[in-house]
Amino acid sequence: MPVMTPAPAPPLLEARDLNVSVHVAHRWGTATQRVVLHGVNLCVHRGQTLAVVGESGAGKSTLVRALLRLQRPAAGQVLIDGQDLAILSPSELRAQRRRIQIVFQDPIASLNPALTVLELVTDPLRPGAGAIGTALKEKALEQLQTVGLGAEYLGRRAAELSGGQAQRVAIARALITGPEMLICDEPVSALDLALRSQVLRLLAELQRQRSLALLLVTHDLHAARFLCERTLVLRRGAVVEQGVTTQLFARPAADYTRELLASMLSVDPGGRASRSVS
């Protein structure tokens, strides 16, 4: 009797022919729809790392919002484990979102200044801002220690944190739900060179330790090469090319990718600025 080969697992996160339009109002009272994403396809399997790179205005942040169903696509699908997010109920959608957490570009702006670090980190696990018991406090401290912060930070507020500390708190908050994937939207662009290096290394270590899938949205090509095994190049809302990062950087197929590699200032993981990304 022949041995049946199990069907391959679906990607953890997948976009199929994704189109996103935005409503543009004009001064003279008319309005138009502008297409921001054109037929974008991508997939990330468990434990994989994918960088989405492109210059400002390429549609990277719009893609993040569409993947998290924070912005409804005009056409196409976003799937988690093969499930189309468009057909899920609000409670089902919330459950799926807990599996994929986001780390934003500006750590200070992403943290509520009225809350303590303890409240911020535990917020995803406290529906309706419920009380924080001993077990939840210990869980928060565990996540803070994972990102290199100690118990002395639990009572501090966002305004008392440096940019690097705030981003570590934001990462701890993203980790507390036990996600299978992190989406990092320009997570180091608001930090200075030394802090960028530290946060990139932290993300790399967390990804390795927890076998996290990672989607890094960035204009920093060295960050993409440092963190991600695959890279997708986005220009004016369309995918220019995608492939294994080392191969794509060594032998880019598109003129636009070659221009990015030649001209973009990127950050060396050791803290140096460099234009060499080959």
pLDDT tens for the chain, 278 residues long, are 555 555 567 899 999 999 998 877 666 666 677 878 999 999 999 999 999 999 888 899 899 999 988 888 999 999 999 999 999 888 888 888 889 999 988 888 888 888 999 999 999 887 766 677 889 999 999 999 999 999 999 999 988 998 899 999 999 999 999 999 999 999 888 788 888 889 999 999 999 999 999 999 998 898 999 999 999 999 999 999 999 999 999 999 999 999 999 876 443 444 333 333 32
Predicted pLDDT of residue 184: 94
Print the SS3 string covering the chain: CCCCCCCCCCCCEEEEEEEEEEEEECCCCCEEEEEEEEEEEEEECCCCEEEEECCCCCCHHHHHHHHCCCCCCCEEEEEECCEEHHHCCHHHHHHHHHHEEEECCCCCCCCCCCCEHHHHHHHHHCCCCCCCCHHHHHHHHHHHHHCCCCHHHCCCEHHHCCHHHHHHHHHHHHHCCCCCEEEEECCCCCCCHHHHHHHHHHHHHHHHHHCCEEEEEECCHHHHHHHCCEEEEEECCEEEEEEEHHHHHHCCCCHHHHHHHHHCCEECCCCCEECCCC
Predicted pLDDT of residue 125: 86
Predicted pLDDT of residue 60: 92
Predicted pLDDT of residue 191: 82
